[in-house]
Amino acid sequence: MKPVHLIFFCLLTNALLVSAQETVDHYETIIRAENSWRYFVGQVSPPSNWMANEFNDAVWPIGPGGFGYGDDDDGTTISETMSVFLRKDFQVVDPADFPVVILHADYDDGFVAYLNGEEIARSNLGQSGTNVAYNQSADGFHEAVLYQGGVPDAFMIDPVRLRVGNNTLAFQVNNENINSSDLSASFFLSVGTSKATFTYGATPDWFTTPITDSHLPILSFNTMGQTIVNESRIRARLGIIDNGPNTINKLDDPFNNYDGWASIEIRGASSLMFPKSNLGFETQEENGDNRNVPLLGMPKENDWILHGPYSDKSLMRNVLTFDFARKLGRYVTRTRYCALFINEEYRGVYVLMEKIKRDKNRVDIANLKPEDTSGDELTGGYIFQMDRDDPSTGIDGWNSSYPPHSFFAYKDPGKDELNAIQRNYLRAYVTEFENLMAGTNYIDTYDQYIDVDSYVDYWISTEISKHIDAYRLSFYMQKHKDSNGGKIHFGPLWDFNLAYGNFDFGCDPGPEGWAYEFGSSCGSPLAFWAEKLTSIPAVADAITCRWQSLRQGAYRTENFLTYIDSVQTYLGPEVNRNFERWKVLGNYVWPNAFVGDSYQAEIDFLKDWIAQRLSWMDENMIGNCPVSTTSEIQDLSIKVFPNPFHETLFFQFDRAIPGDSQLRLFNVTGQLLFEKSIPKGSSSFTLADLNMPEGLYIYQLTSESQAILFTGRIIKKE
């Protein structure tokens, strides 16, 4: 556990950084990686005082940085080694001129940094304050990013560590193991100066001014010198700042939404190649137990996801998908945009999301316990998914008996929580369903195994986006108890980065064509029964009827386009900050089919693609719906005024509504703020005393059967 005084120091540093930023005139770089350094290859241990200011390094060779081998990013290539030691002297006339000091580190795999013999930063290499042997392994793998076009990790250094006159910056960089194919050591020291005069050199092209505030909620992690790695969580302190709408959140503000412990790791599959990592974290008590908390207005839980859009340059494909899927009346993970900081370094726009798991406020299915091994208790409470058959992920499951042998993984409960009887039961049930679909009589009995309505809704959400991974990866399903129908339900939806035209491999990314007809050439194996199930006339007709109903209400084209505009407005200046941190605009990032030269170009592409997609689906819908389920509201129209409004809002229909309905108001992040019942026969109604903050809001009118009749946006002005 981290000492309390160090936690307090980190909070104090936040306050000092925010205050110091106000006095900075400009930034300069004192030391660059490519400068000349004294270095020592760690075949043996160097003298114990090698990092001290007074150490005589005259016998150490001199070379330009970075130092290492294997990645073609080295100014000085050294022999394969477990470690390398670096020293660089620099002069300071008056430390008071530099209220902000920043160390940037590009390293493979772990390092410790010293300024004048005192430790100032550490990552992925032992505990803070401890000496590291020359042959000690780093705590895990950490890849350098500069040679890949990334930005090095930043560490804020207390300016009081600087001395008048000569200063010495020193580093020890250790490899993960002696057989590693590469090692990298590239470091930069930059300062924010309060003077207008220029003393040192220009900052690197990738350098950005430290960010210390955001109009988005702030999530701030302090890893206390540890590196966040894949598939192995570390303990960290987490503080969340959310001062409410139209209020700037600052790093030195009190942590008012969460202040406590968390364990955190990098997560993902193909996204692991990106420097902007997706993260998973668990809120915890001080002793490491789970701590259920309501983060940013979402229901209490302890498992959370931080999605960092990278190849999706709209920053909203997942949020867009989930929001419109939620209108179907099924659980979809809730989302909140936020600004992420790790060790005071701004990491860009992220989306806080609920992890898919069994919970009364998430996937609300039976709680399957280890002792549930017979009868009705055995038959339900399973969440499973179709995904990659990759042993390195540690996910347990089974392969389908039918080509292309799709992989089914136990999700929640996971492999370590299910006993053999439970695993065998789920596998046997899914196999029975697949046996049926592989035969000739499936049209008569398919609905004995699956909940058709859930498949219809899953199909519509998936096909709108033309998701390249549809019916093959991150394809979640649930098995309910026999006493609750006993069938497979489809969903929740997950992972729509490679959707809405954002892929360039396998199949055509354009807005035409059906995803359920994708062959295996498009990517991982497609569930062999997806096309057969969709082609059953009753299923195709149900899809078409549901589609026609949605297109007359919540899924009108203008609603999609308006929503995209509202999210863009909400993100506001944070978009520019994100793309200053992650310079991907105008550059290809796998697997972009379209590369826009600006954020607006990316948004315009997304809107145009969706408009074309919806039109194409209208013209090519797969079934028939002879009796419209929405004939009673086809000609109903609504007026909402005044818009913008102050405190009172009027709703007027061109005729009486045919049934009881419900009006709901949401903010742009999807939080429900207000709801009101509207009785059958109403032709108008008034909402008064709407004392919300200024901003954009979404209204939604639903029928008694929960079909969405109307949705639109309204603006509150003081």
In a domain, 241, yes or no: yes
Q: Which residues contact 376 (CB under 8 A, 6 or more apart)?
A: 481, 482, 483
With respect to residue 199, please indicate whether it lies within any of the assigned structural domains: no
| Token pair recorded at residue 522 | 């498009």
d(CA 343, CA 338): 16
For residue 286, pLDDT beyond 90: yes
Segment 164-174 shows an average pLDDT of: 98
Write the burial class of residue 694 (CB in 10 Å: 0-12 exposed, 13-18 middle, 19+ buried): exposed
Residue 29 has pLDDT above 50, yes or no: yes
Residue 41: closest CA among 87, 88, 81 = 81
Task: Characterize the bridge pairing of strands 67-69 and 76-77.
Answer: parallel
Measured CA distances, 251 to 173, 241, 341 (Å): 30, 8, 9
Q: Which of 329, 354, 379 is the endpoint of a domain?
A: 354
Residues 220 and 178 in one domain: no
pLDDT digits (tens, 9 = 90+) for 333-363: 999 999 999 988 999 999 999 999 999 999 9
What pLDDT, on the 0 to 100 scale, is given for residue 635?
60
Residue 406: which residues within 8 A CB-CB, separation 6 or more? 386, 399, 400, 472, 525, 526, 527, 528
Looking at every residue in the chain, the average pLDDT score rounds to 90
**At 438, which amino acid appears?**
A
The residues, any chain, with a CB within 8 Å of residue 119's CB and separated by 6 or more, are 112, 113, 128, 129
Distance CA 667, CA 672 (A): 7
109-118, 390-399, 517-526, 572-581: which has the minimum mean pLDDT? 517-526
Last residue of a domain, one of 338, 354, 370: 354
pLDDT at 230: 82
Write the pLDDT tens digit of every residue in 118-154: 999 998 898 888 999 999 999 888 889 898 888 898 8
Claim to verify: residue 173 and residue 98 sit in the same structural domain: yes
Residues 99-117 have a mean pLDDT of 95
Q: Which two tokens stand for residue 274?
A: 């990106």
What tokens does 107 get?
């390293």
Identify whether residues 141 and 227 lie together within a single domain.
Answer: no
Please confirm whether the linkage preceding 626 is cis (ω < 30° from 0). Answer: no
pLDDT of residue 303: 98
pLDDT of residue 454: 96
Q: Above 90 in pLDDT, residue 2?
A: no
The answer to whether the CB of 358 falls within 8 A of the CB of 369 is: no
Q: Answer yes or no: is 74 within a domain.
A: yes
Mean pLDDT of 89-94: 96
Cβ-in-10-Å burial (0-12, 13-18, 19+) of 43 comes to exposed
Is residue 636 pLDDT above 90, yes or no? no
Task: Give strand pairing partners of 696.
Answer: 715
Q: Is residue 643 part of a domain?
A: yes
**Is 560 part of any domain?**
no
Q: Is residue 499 part of a domain?
A: no
If one counts the domains in the chain, the total is 3
Give the pTM: 0.79
Q: Kindly state the average pLDDT of the residues 500-520.
A: 89
Read off the amino acid at residue 102. Answer: I
Banded model confidence at residue 632, pLDDT cuts 50, 70, 90: very low
Q: Where residue 119 sits, what CATH number does that domain have?
A: 2.60.120.260
Residues 117, 247 share a domain: no
Largest pairwise CA distance in the chain:
92
Check whether 672 has a pLDDT greater than 60.
Answer: yes
Q: Which candidate, 444, 544, 538, 432, places its Cα nearest to that of 488?
A: 432
**Residue 58 in 3-state DSSP?**
coil
Secondary-structure breakdown of the chain: helix, strand, coil percentages, each rounded to the nearest 5: 25, 30, 45
End-to-end distance of the chain based on CA atoms, in angstroms? 49
| 223 shares a domain with 162 | no
Same domain, 52 and 173: yes
Do 640 and 682 reside in the same domain of the chain? yes
Q: What are the distances in angstroms from CA 287 to CA 234, 279, 290, 303?
A: 14, 22, 9, 17
Question: What are the E-state strand segments in 480-556?
Answer: 488-490
Does residue 545 lie within any of the structural domains? no
Strands of 42-99, DSSP E: 62-64, 67-69, 76-77, 83-92
User: Which range (318-322, 347-351, 470-474) has the least confidence?
Assistant: 470-474
Q: How confident is the model at residue 270 (pLDDT cuts 50, 70, 90)?
A: confident
Strand partners, 281: 264, 304
- Residue 656: give its domain's CATH number: 2.60.40.1930
3-state secondary structure 152-182: CEEEEECHHHCCCEEEEEEEEEECCCCCCCC
**Crossing angle of the two packed helices 317-326 and 557-571, in degrees rounded to 10:** 130
Domain stop point among 303, 323, 354:
354
Instruction: Give the helix ranges, DSSP H, for 467-507.
Output: none
For the segment 476-487, the average pLDDT, to the nearest whole number, is: 97
Whether residue 636 is contained in a domain is answered as: yes
Same domain for 236 and 90: no
Plot region of 371 (φ>0 → left; ψ -120 to 50 → alpha; else → beta): alpha
d(CA 620, CA 68): 57
Give percent of the chain with pLDDT exceeding 90: 71
- 258, 340: one domain: yes
Whether residues 10 and 154 share a domain: the answer is: yes
For 54-80, write each residue's pLDDT tens digit: 999 999 999 999 999 998 889 999 999
Q: Are residues 9 and 89 in the same domain?
A: yes
pLDDT of residue 11: 41
Q: Show the domain range for 660.
A: 630-718
Q: What is the pLDDT of residue 630?
A: 42
SS3 699: strand
Whether the predicted pLDDT of 628 surpasses 70? no
- What is residue 612's three-state secondary structure? helix
Query: In the structure encoding, which two tokens stand for residue 32, read together?
Result: 């660059």
4 has a pLDDT exceeding 50: no
Distances (CA, A) of 169 to 31, 116, 118, 531: 9, 7, 10, 62
Own/partner pairs, 661-665, CB within 8 angstroms, 24+ separation: 661/701, 661/702, 661/703, 661/704, 661/709, 662/701, 662/702, 663/687, 663/699, 663/700, 663/701, 664/699, 664/700, 664/701, 664/702, 665/697, 665/698, 665/699, 665/700
Q: How confident is residue 601, by pLDDT bands cut at 50, 70 and 90? A: very high
Residues 51, 120, single domain; the answer is yes
At how many degrees (to 10) do helices 599-620 and 557-571 cross? 160
Does residue 6 surpass a pLDDT of 60? no
- Tens digit of each residue's pLDDT (9 = 90 or more) over 432-447: 999 999 999 999 999 9
Q: What is the pLDDT of residue 269?
A: 75
